[in-house]
Amino acid sequence: MIIFPAIDIRGGRCVRLVQGRADQETIYGDDPAAMGVRWQDEGAVWLHVVDLDGAFGAKPQNLEAIGRLRRAVKIPIQLGGGIRSLETIQAYMDEGIDRLILGTAVLKDPDLVVRALTAHPGRIALGLDAKGGLLAVEGWTETTRRTAAEVALNLAPLKPAAIIYTDISRDGVKKGVNLEATGALARAINIPVIASGGVSSIDDIKALLPLEPLGVIGVITGKALYDGNLDLKEAIRVAAGGAE
């Protein structure tokens, strides 16, 4: 299982929000590139990056900071936030971003999603973020009537690189990953699932491991790393099967 350290960028800085709320922000650093190097040096094999300003503003807002981060690290980066056009996707790919995450567009612009998946096989992931089991979009400010499994099944024939599933109620509050919902989604689809939201300690990593045979290939963690409640090196060891 892959541990994805999260780097959320707002105003060019590394921050974390609680349940996606812009008024619940903690700043963890002024240099996303330096943060990326730190996680790389501690053993990360992927980074999960979000342009929070892009997510709220519906277009990229932190291109300069993201570019510096991309040039600073050698490991792959998956990126989401404000990606609403093929031109934006291509611009990020030209910048060297390895995987792009489409979230709001999945429900608001399905034609774009189909075109992106067709044009860039293996490089487009879908970000499905749920409140009470129902998907939320527009930086989590708008809840829909669609479920993650329903949407993922519809797009499965186009072979997304992964489904990144976030339980919004647990994001940034360190209550543990929603194992039931994550496992149910993995059982319902034949697409790799990356869990997100709620990691608080090494015990949450251990709890996810039984879901790996179902197709849960990774987990994103942010606040627990930044607060020191989770050691990245230990998490990587445990996720690789190194726990006793």
Residues with catalytic function: 8, 129
Tokens encoding 169: 């109620």
Backbone angles phi, psi at 46, to 5 degrees: -145, 155
Q: Which residues pair with 10 in a beta bridge?
A: 13
Give the residue among 74, 65, 67, 191 at the shortest CA–CA distance from 128.
191
Separation of CA 86 from chain center = 20
Side chain identity at residue 9, one-letter code: I
Beta strand extents in the chain (DSSP E only): 2-10, 13-18, 21-29, 47-51, 77-80, 99-102, 124-131, 134-137, 142-147, 163-167, 193-196, 216-221
Spatial separation of the C-alpha atoms in residues 72 and 66, rounded to whole Å: 10
Q: Which residues pair with 130 in a beta bridge?
A: 135, 167
Cα dihedral: 115, 120, 121, 124 (round 10): -80
Tokens encoding 123: 């490089």
